[in-house]
Chain A
Amino acid sequence: MMDELDRAIINSLQGGFPVCERPFAEVARQLHTTEQEVVSRIGRLLESGILSRFGPMYHAERMGGSLSLAAMKIPDSDFERVAGIVNAMPEVAHNYARDHALSMWFVLATETPLEHAAALERIERATGYPVYDMPKIREYFIGLRFAA
């Protein structure tokens, strides 16, 4: 269970974490607690899965990488086989089942656009289904602060 301090830490950390000698002490000062308390609370929130990550969020495309959404129409009867093939590819960062004829949606993360094209081709060959490539044309907003 989370208490008030956990919630305050989560809400504060969604807004950013300082780059300085003792950043946890800085966060602790704002939340009227101690550095040690902030460090151990973050550790516990990560362990219990309430936080899925703590650290820098890198922007793949700005590093020259390629990040792209793609979808496939997979019949229920073949879904598990195809999910196995797609999940086994290291380039696939996320994969979700969605309630639609286009039933499998995954994000490909590669270091170059060439690797991206090669990965799509491998998926089509291995699964026998066409991939609907949906790279973003424009990004308008990323980042939501979930109220903890």
Chain B
Amino acid sequence: MTAITPLDEIDRRIVLATQSGLPLDPQPYHAVALQAGVSPEEVMLRMRQMLETGVIRRIGAVPNHYALGYRANGMTVWDVPDERVDELGEEVGALEFVSHCYQRPRHLPDWPYNFFAMVHGHDRGEVERQVSCIAALIGDADRGHEILYSTRILKKTGLRIVG
């Protein structure tokens, strides 16, 4: 289970002021402070705290991977023994081309896969080489896998909390 860090009113105001992005102002945290109605020192303190507790994963930029030439995005799904998924998750997650890696529930008989790893390549050939690399790592714990390529983005918005 993920620990929940309750947000107070000031945190919430900071989240609302920054969830669509940081202002492109030489003093961005001052601009956030104005919008949230608290001091810049308070904004910086709270954001450092949220980074520490993991409420903020990181502050930075997210490139559009299509724009950078990563056009083949494969959701690779694997059926591995439940008792080995933690160990394999750590190993597969450490591979440099894996961006997300999760254990998820099976839906038998339609969906036998309990382990997901998202991989990104410039083309499908690159993704297939990455998948062979994962398969080699997983070894005989691989009881079956598939690559599901995204064929269309139907919707993509950021996460939002409402004010």
Contacts and interface: CB of A to CB of B under 8 A. Distances in A.
A59 B70 CA distance: 25
Contacts of B67: 48-50
Would you call the interface of chain A mostly helix, strand, loop, or mixed? mixed
A14 B61 contact: yes
Nearest to B56: A56
Interface in B79-99: 85-86, 89-90, 92-94, 96-99
Contacts of A138: 85-86, 89, 102-103
B60 A146 contact: no
B28 A23 contact: yes
Nearest to A133: B105
A15 B56 contact: no
Interface in B95-141: 96-105, 107, 110-111, 120
A4 interface: no
A117 interface: no
Contact of A51 (B64, B86, B150): B64
Interface string A18-33: 0111111100000000
Contacts, number: 239
B148 interface: yes
A57 B22 CA distance: 11
Contact of B157 (A61, A73, A93, A104): A93
Contact of B58 (A16, A35, A39, A98): A16
A93 B55 CA distance: 19
B48 interface: yes
Contact of B154 (A51, A96, A109, A136): A96
A27 B22 CA distance: 15
A32 to B, nearest CB: 18
Contacts of A20: 29, 44
A54 B102 CA distance: 25
Interface of A: 9-10, 13-17, 19-25, 35-36, 39, 42-43, 45-46, 48-65, 67, 69, 71, 73, 83, 86-87, 92-102, 104-106, 109, 111, 132-144, 146-148
Given A59-B57, A140-B103, 20 more contacts: A10-B68, A16-B59, A17-B58, A17-B61, A20-B44, A39-B25, A54-B61, A55-B19, A58-B15, A59-B54, A63-B161, A83-B154, A93-B156, A93-B158, A111-B161, A132-B107, A134-B105, A135-B105, A141-B99, A144-B100
Interface of B: 2-7, 15, 18-22, 24-30, 40, 44, 47-48, 50-51, 53-65, 67-68, 70, 75, 85-86, 89-90, 92-94, 96-105, 107, 110-111, 120, 146, 148-162
